[in-house]
Amino acid sequence: MDEKLNKNTDENLNKKATKNIMTYIIIFFVGCLVMYAVVYFFPVAITEDVIKEVRDVTINDTGIAEAVAKVYDSVVVVSTYRDGTYIASGTGFVYRQEGDKYYLLTNYHVIEDGDNVTVTFTNGDVVETEIVGHDEYADIAVLSIESDTELTVAELGNNEESRVGDTAFAVGAPLDNAYSWTVTRGIISGKDRLVEVSVSNSNTNDYVMRVLQTDAAINSGNSGGPLCNANGEVIGITSLKLVSSGVEGMGFAIPIEAAVEKAEQIIDGEIIVYPVIGIQMVDFADAYYTYYSLIRNSGLENGVIVTSVERGSAADEAGIKANDIITAIDGEKVLNKAYLRYYLYQHSVGDDITITVYRDGNTRDLKLTLSADGQTA
């Protein structure tokens, strides 16, 4: 009796389950038919709703035209002459006004071989300038002109507030004035980049610059022009670009704070003196064969070899000797001569620093006071 009851119960459950499954299948197909009918017979209504939704979330990019307009007329084409002959051009901009006198910034490498410099404004006026001064390591030059007419002075921004990814644009005169006042747009790609450069116009990089990186197009002739933020404020001076096979969109600018600091020293008549320690030196790469045993036995991959020490210099008094390998200054790793000069030139004459050297299998820290007289470093 119980077995028969259980059997009937199981059959009823199976029938009920089958019925439920069939119900779900029917509901599914009916739903599909209804959706198909809605789409087929009312496509316009749905399309309008979708378009309305898209329109509601559209973002309008008004560009940077207003920001460009703020700085545009302050930008000048810089033309450099020597003995009356045109030799080079670049870009600059008006950054300071004192009554009828205006000061302009550009790169030193734009004017370094010239004895006369003119600037051309957006209205076509060509004005001869006075070369106030320069700093070759900072790659900054200051020019001045006098004008009874009110000139546009660029507004300076705060580079410290700039962020990687912020909009940036450059204004310049690329390709030897062929496309003067060209505006290129990009972003700030990096901050506080250390880039090796050649100050002495040799094939050897002999200094390091701390710069902003941007992917805004920088071309020959842009040097000395402003790099601006989206508010039209100058945050840097375009100075160089990385040129290498397979590399694109890597331009660099001197942070405006560093440029203005040097410019103000020049305008105030200060003599810019970089400290020295009184040594002659050579990079590992240039001394591999001459100092092969020294380099191999040291086990070091980078550094600067001291080839001679000036008698009575700061290095001499600190105990630095020929064949010492300088590996760090104040704990900052010295990769080569360019980095040694960079870390050295962050200090002033009279400052105390610590130089780390490798000698006879040991590393030692030597303290010295920087002087203004001596040999190349």
pLDDT in tens, 340-361: 999 999 999 999 999 999 999 9
Q: How would residue 204 be classed by pLDDT, with cut points 50, 70 and 90?
A: confident
Phi, psi of 66 (to 5 degrees): -65, -40
Mean pLDDT over 159-180 rounds to 90
Per the annotation, the verdict on 223 as an active-site residue is yes
Beta bridge partners of 255: 236
Residue 205 confidence (pLDDT): 83
Contact 91, 223 (CB under 8 A): yes
Q: Which residues contact 28 (CB under 8 A, 6 or more apart)?
A: none
pLDDT in tens, 239-258: 987 665 566 778 999 999 99
Q: How far apart are CA 207 and CA 194, in angstroms?
A: 10
pLDDT in tens, 268-295: 999 888 999 999 999 988 888 889 899 9
Neighbours of 246 (CB within 10 A): 4
Closest CA to 216 of 232, 201, 234, 228: 228
Catalytic site residue from 74, 79, 89, 139? 139
Q: How would residue 176 be classed by pLDDT, with cut points 50, 70 and 90?
A: confident
Residue 287 confidence (pLDDT): 87
For tokens 């009828």, name the residue: 100
Residue 28 confidence (pLDDT): 61
Q: Is the pLDDT of residue 202 over 90?
A: no
Per the annotation, the verdict on 109 as an active-site residue is yes
Between 55 and 64, residue with greater pLDDT: 64
Catalytic site residue from 74, 89, 109, 134? 109
Between 140 and 176, residue with greater pLDDT: 140
For tokens 């780390």, name the residue: 356
CATH of domain 279-369: 2.30.42.10
Mean pLDDT over 319-327 rounds to 97
**What pTM does this model have?**
0.79
Catalytic site residue from 223, 239, 298, 313? 223
Amino acid sitting at position 68 = V
Contact 351, 315 (CB under 8 A): no
Radius of gyration of the chain (CA): 34
Mean pLDDT over 222-249 rounds to 86
Q: How far apart are CA 363 and CA 346, in angstroms?
A: 24
CA 274 vs CA 136, 137, 377: distances in Å: 11, 9, 9
* Topology, domain 61-272: Thrombin, subunit H (2.40.10)
